[in-house]
Amino acid sequence: MYNKQEWKDEIPDLTKPIMDPSTGKQKTDPQTGRPLFELVQVGTRITSTRLNTMESGIEAAHTLVEQLAKELGGNFVVSADGVMGLACSAQGLKVTWTAGIAYVSGRRYQVPAGEMALNPTQGQYVYVDVDGVVKKTTSQATAKKGLTIFYVATDTSGVISTTDHRVNIRLEEILKRLENVQIPDASLTEKGKVQLDNATDSTNDTTASTPRAVNAAKQEAINAAKANDEEVILPQANASAQGYANAAVLPIIGADNPNIIKNSAAQFGLHGWVPGVPSAWTIGSMNERGFRPFSCDIVSSSQYAILESQPFAIAAGAYNLQALFNSLGASGSTIKLYVEIVNSANNNNVGTLFADTNKTWHRKNALITIPTGVTSAKVRLVVYGGIAGWSFGSREISRIKLSFGSSDVPYTAEADDLALLEYRNKMRSWGAL
């Protein structure tokens, strides 16, 4: 059972400074240099040990999921809603398969439907390799390293015989077996499950701090720093903040499929974005779904309204681009609302994602390929007025994500942590830790 622990803010009494009787001056914190006051309430403190314990728990959870998948079924096809995917059939010298969910060496893959040519006069195994791609081989040993789903023998022009090799594991069976799995408690030397903790003054090495705890500790430091001499404290606070923030942020932004676009949902106004000429882009009000959009004013005929991100480093390869659009009330076949990725070096377009016309908030995504040689890119939000201009309806974009890989993954905002760090002259927070 999880026992919730309350995190508390440190509340100083600014009317009661702590004085040094030997000098007659107010005492200061030896680490941060901030003036010290008597406390109305002792706050909770956060330590690197607690954050590292949380990271160990996250790592243990990922490892455990992969280990359980291997132990429960090894390589197998999952039946979802009673339907077993990756059903294969062969005709002539071609094999086709349906979409399905495959587990290969403990990793889950959403395999799309597809087809491939077969070799004549051969016995061939069709299998899902460890990279999640359907392949063929004449070697049974090679096929068994992945998930074998089909065997077909051919003559010069067609199929002689086929065999279904799929291994079926139902999700209901997996869940039933998971109920009996015993997971040990995590420690500084052993992986396992970890209890979340809201305390900010605990010295416990076996619990993990929650985002609420981190936010409370940050707010505590902000409140304390406001009363200090900014010219003395802020340089020290900024130096400490950089180290603490990097330690907290790097494990997050290093996760698989992070969002590399900063301020991707207008939470920091237009920070990180550069309006074009004419400047028609503003920040819209919080909508009924709980997020803010980038909103564009009226656009005249044959005119483009552009909002451009700051350049960011990028490598060649496949990326998934996604965004939420709102074009409700728009009319006309020539108007356009879209997001595009451009090469920073020459502003050449390398990928575009278009919104649907006259449609309320809807999510779109597209596969974008960054060519070899492109090392820096920018995101552009674009409204084109078309032949008659765009004066009616909505022109809004939000929750933009560009992530490495071809998988369509949920929206996240890892790069917003980096955007926060860019507010250096507003930092008051982590220097008191």
pLDDT-derived band at 1 (thresholds 50, 70, 90) equals very low
Place of tokens 């020290």: 236
Distance between CA 307 and CA 297 in Å, rounded?
12
Q: Which of 119, 137, 164 is the last residue of a domain?
A: 164
Question: What average pLDDT score do residues 322-347 get?
Answer: 93
pLDDT at 252 over 50: no
Domain limits at 113? 86-164
Lowest mean pLDDT: which of 105-109, 150-154, 216-220, 359-363? 216-220
In a domain, 126, yes or no: yes
Report the predicted TM-score, pTM, of the whole model to 2 decimal places.
0.42
Distance between CA 396 and CA 239 in Å, rounded?
38
In a domain, 14, yes or no: yes
In a domain, 289, yes or no: yes
In a domain, 432, yes or no: no
Distance between CA 394 and CA 288 in Å, rounded?
15
Question: What average pLDDT score do residues 162-166 get?
Answer: 91
Close Cβ partners of 248 (under 8 Å, ≥ 6 residues apart): 51, 214, 417
In a domain, 204, yes or no: no
In a domain, 328, yes or no: yes
In a domain, 268, yes or no: no
Q: Quote the number of domains for the chain.
A: 3
Could you tell me if residue 358 is left (phi over 0), alpha (psi between -120 and 50 degrees) or otherwise beta?
A: left
Close Cβ partners of 432 (under 8 Å, ≥ 6 residues apart): 29, 32, 34, 220, 221, 224, 225, 237
pLDDT at 38 over 80: yes
pLDDT in tens, 339-373: 999 999 999 999 999 999 999 999 999 999 999 99
Q: Are residues 65 and 134 in the same domain?
A: no
Distance between CA 337 and CA 381 in Å, rounded?
8
In the chain, how long is the greatest CA-to-CA distance? Answer: 100
- Residue 371 is given by DSSP the state P
Question: What average pLDDT score do residues 21-42 get?
Answer: 88
pLDDT in tens, 48-76: 776 676 677 677 666 666 666 555 556 88
β-strand partners of 325: 362, 397
Question: What average pLDDT score do residues 93-99 get?
Answer: 94
Q: Are residues 66 and 94 in the same domain?
A: no
